[in-house]
Amino acid sequence: MKVIIFSILSLSLTLMFSDVTHAGDSYAHFDDKGQLERPMGYREWIFIGAPLTPNDMNDGKAAFPEFHNVYIDPASWAVWKKAGEFRDGTVIIKELVSVGSKSTYSGNGYFMGEYIGLEAMVKSKKRFPKSNGNWGFFRFTNDNYKGLKKSANVLPQKACMSCHTPNAEYDNVFTQHYPVLRAAKSKGEAGIGGK
Ligand code: HEC
């Protein structure tokens, strides 16, 4: 009897305190105002790529002149390897890094400087039932790159989707720029390197 009561109690406590996008194990946590809390520890998630559109290759005015370090949360990565799709609850992080220097001992190029911003996309049927692929987009960067917000509101669909939806190769994500994702899609352990 005690065991049953304890199980019911712990189940209801779990339900009460787990404000996550998807039952159980999403890395997306929303506060009681419905804002996405800034994810923690993402530099230990799966690193999928670092695109860069530097100013000097774009007439000095690239829309996004910094490096983008992109990560996917580990639980969604596991599903991607198996099923080849972004599960409900997926979190993809884009951390902005300035161009630090343009030359080093091996030659000229682009080398990372400092962290200057953070954006994210979260897939949630429950929270974004009407958006394309159920994705919500978020920006944690304060104006002038002065630190990061603790939580962020979902951005208007048009601001980000207008470019992602028509141009990104798979489910609003630019998989065409991420060999890490392409190699592992539905390939399981065969796609993680070394085989
Ligand atoms: C003009 C097109 C365009 C717009 C507008 C745009 N993005 Fe992107 N985004 C890209 C491209 C291209 C990439 C991949 C290459 C790169 O990072 O530069 C990308 C990558 C991303 C990624 C990494 C996952 C992926 O799909 O590659 C995130 C997260 C992201 N963008 C968030 C945002 C947010 C938040 C907004 C709105 C504030 C936004 N983007 C607006 C073109 C766009």
Return the best residue to mutate from 164, 173, 181 for the ligand 1 pocket (most ligand atoms within 8 A of CB): 164
160 lines ligand 1 (CB under 6 A): yes
SS3 6: helix
**pTM, full prediction:** 0.89
Interatomic CA distance for residues 57 and 175, integer angstroms: 22
Please report, in tens digits, the pLDDT of each residue of the chain (195 residues total): 555 544 544 444 444 433 344 445 899 999 999 999 999 999 999 999 999 999 999 999 999 999 999 999 999 999 999 999 999 999 999 999 999 999 999 999 999 999 999 999 999 999 999 999 999 999 999 988 889 999 999 999 999 999 999 999 999 999 999 999 999 999 999 999 998
Cβ neighbourhood burial of 90 (10 Å; 0-12, 13-18, 19+): buried
The ranges assigned to domains in the chain are 19-191
Identify the CA nearest to 99 among candidates 77, 126, 121, 68.
68
164 alpha carbon – ligand 1 mean position (Å): 6
164 lines ligand 1 (CB under 6 A): yes
Q: In the CATH hierarchy, which top-level class contains the domain 19-191?
A: alpha beta
Among protein residues, the one with the nearest Cα to ligand 1's atom 13 is 174
